[in-house]
Structure 1
């Protein structure tokens, strides 16, 4: 069985609030900014490959009063990375030790991912990582899952996909992979042990 991981919020904790809690005085201000200015839909276009320079300019044109905070999304982006999710990294390392074929598909801006990859050596355990920004495709588009499968000669029926986003899990299911919705490392360990991929 091939095991395919999502990376953000499965192996690495990504949280823009970690940055904006340093910029705004209250939680309400943080939520208002992320809900109306640098939104998840806006960020998804960076995951699709749009440059951060273009993204900052677009958002600043809409919200010039927030120019400095918008620019921080780009220039202080590293502060949105809280750190590794230790329990899942341990699972990844155990699977690697058992010679389980490991792959990843991540919605991540290509340049920001390359910066992040340098910080986390465990990402080197993957045989291949499909990065949305490089491919101009984002999950749950079926094409991004099919790209990984075709590029590596993998059968969907022999591939397990793990993601914290239920819609991305359903996207994997739709192309014939076995989707697993990630909630906690402990729950993932139970699932993988039940499938015989980890030892009890």
Structure 2
């Protein structure tokens, strides 16, 4: 295995806690079954990911309201109350990030699926986002994980050799896509497990 020189972090679900549940569980008065149905059938993950790839939030909202007018108010809440879905930092992973950056042994960058309209809110809220050498934001690039193009953009922009990079993401689909390009993928589950996974790749904190 080549010596690892670059660590690529996903953001949401790895370093930043984001969850629509923070809004909709309250809206549905604690009825998780109703909330789950709404998020699986109306404001779906696939719908939200389309905005992560650069589609305008307002246009997406209007189109979905036309498809499901009976859920108009709930649909408008998705981006209307988006800041309430943004939780705090995932402290254990932020600690890992800090140690990697401070070690100065690695190039540390981020690759995130995130709307370019909402990402500035995260930049303002989370100081640790300034620690990265750079961040590739899907909404800016008009493509997203798991598509090959966004990995290629990241590799080229930061002059990364795939076999010398580790990519950390909480979405297995995105990790598998990185693996097909020769990047060493780590499926993130917890900060504690991440430390073990990094050590297996000869990266000690």
Same fold (TM over 0.5): yes
Aligned-CA RMSD value: 1.0
Q: Which residue of 1 aligns with 2:111?
A: 105
Task: Name segments (4+ residues, structure 1) moved above 3 Å.
Answer: none
From 9, 12, 16, the equivalent of 1:8 is 12
CA distance in 2, matches of 1:182, 1:194: 14
CA distance in 2, matches of 1:167, 1:9: 14
Deviations 1:153-178 (A, max 9, x none): 11111111000111100111111111
1:134 aligns with 2:148: no
TM-score (norm 2): 0.94
From 174, 183, 187, the equivalent of 1:181 is 187
Count, aligned residues: 199
Deviations 1:131-163 (A, max 9, x none): 111101111111111101111111111111000
**Equivalent position SS for 1:134:** helix
Deviations 1:108-132 (A, max 9, x none): 1011111111100101111111111
How far is the alpha carbon of 1:33 from its aligned partner?
Answer: 0.9
Give the conservation status (yes or no) of the 8 Å contact 1:95–1:197: no
Q: Which residue of 2 aligns with 1:77?
A: 82
CA distance in 1, matches of 2:180, 2:201: 21
Residue segments in structure 1 that go unaligned for 5+ positions in a row: none
CA distance in 1, matches of 2:129, 2:107: 13
TM-score (norm 1): 0.96
**Equivalent position SS for 2:7:** strand
Q: Which residue of 2 aligns with 1:165?
A: 171
Give the conservation status (yes or no) of the 8 Å contact 1:94–1:198: no
Give the conservation status (yes or no) of the 8 Å contact 1:142–1:174: no
Aligned runs of 1:110-129 on 2, under 5 Å?
A: 110-129=116-135
Q: Which residue of 2 aligns with 1:149?
A: 155
Residue segments in structure 2 that go unaligned for 5+ positions in a row: none
Q: Which residue of 1 aligns with 2:53?
A: 48
